[in-house]
A = this chain, B = another copy of it.
Amino acid sequence: MSGMSRRRITSKELAKLAGVSSATISRAFSPDSRIGSATRDRILAVAREHGYQPNAIARSLNNQRSRLVALVVNAIGNPCEAEEQQLLVHRLQARQLLPIILCCADHSDRLQLMRLASTYQVDHVVVFSDMVSMQDAVDIFHTTKPIIVSFEPLENENVSSIRIDGAEAADEIIDKIVRDGKKRFAYLSGTNSSWIDKLRRKWFADALAKRGLAFEVQAFGDYSYDSGFKEAVLLLHRDKVDAIICGNDVMAIGARDAARRVLGKNTPDDIAIVGQDGIAMAAWDCNDLTTLSLDHVAFIDAVVELIERHDAEIEGPHSITLTCTARWGSTA
């Protein structure tokens, strides 16, 4: 690699240096194309010497294929999503696909952000965030056919979806808590507008209804530890509930801390607390949370599966269903 030239060398310049045409340079970098192996070796040697690599932007323009994948997420800071994102990024990288992250939380104009990403001709879109509507995603990425993590089967044939079902596991958990003698249940949502949140809540509400119970209180947080802490103080003190089902694990940890610290109540005897997601942190010794857990590996396997179907250009709507399981800790 000679020199620190600011400018990148082009295929035409390299062609001159190697005494061939620029078409031959291109062929040297395409695994199966008609080119003499001696020529290829010589070109690759010269290329290495001058630090040449084909320009992926130009290639994308020509190919109509960018190898970029947009990941639409709420945030990367929140561990509840980060584990899955991490897995997916690894799987993409192994396929030589590059992830572009779009963070929707705290961002004023999510639609504009998605439109911006769509101008980069991304090959795939994976929507994790519950803050964008399915219809918006379809409209903006109408050439890409997004993959959406939903919680209900989608009828829209311009979308592939992963459906997650936690009804059965929620029933198991509620069963245990009711048998433990708890009576006043609260649900602590992560957002007040998300369809994902509504469906998760429904799993638990149905399980309660089956036993002649219902949520006495409905509270709203923002998926953060602090909001879990703050809301739990109110729920326990003002509303006297003895069971809190939380929208994710991080809020559940906040709620548990509030119970213990502010009100001196312990789980699971005085109060039951349940999380959702099943992140690694929930199993830490200091947390030991009871949570409605999703198998992250299976989940990302499903996403990759859908991406591969898109690549193979199999037509028609696709949907994969996953089931949650109860993971028992000492909080319920």
Q: Which A residues lie at the B interface, using CB under 8 A?
A: 1, 4-8, 51, 53-58, 60-61, 66, 68, 75-77, 79, 82-83, 85-86, 89-90, 93, 96, 98-103, 106-107, 113, 115-121, 139, 142-143, 158, 225, 229, 253-254, 256-258, 260-261, 280-281, 284-287
Contact = CB atoms under 8 A, between A and B. Distances in A.
Nearest to A84: B77
A77 to B, nearest CB: 4
B284 A257 contact: yes
B119 A53 contact: yes
Contact of A4 (B58, B68, B158): B158
A225 B229 CA distance: 23
A103 B89 CA distance: 7
Given A100-B99, A142-B5, A284-B257, A90 B117 contact: no
Contact of A90 (B56, B107, B256): B107
Nearest to A58: B61
Contacts of A7: 143
Given A83-B77, A86-B77, A286-B287, A100 B103 contact: no
A265 to B, nearest CB: 14
Contact of A8 (B101, B115, B143, B256): B143
A236 to B, nearest CB: 15
A225 B103 contact: no
Nearest to A107: B93
Nearest to A9: B143
A115 B53 contact: yes
Contact of A77 (B68, B82, B118, B143): B82
Given A1-B139, A57-B66, 20 more contacts: A4-B142, A6-B143, A55-B119, A57-B57, A58-B61, A76-B76, A76-B85, A77-B79, A77-B82, A77-B85, A77-B86, A82-B82, A89-B101, A89-B103, A90-B106, A99-B101, A256-B286, A257-B284, A261-B285, A286-B286
B281 A225 contact: yes
A260 B280 CA distance: 20
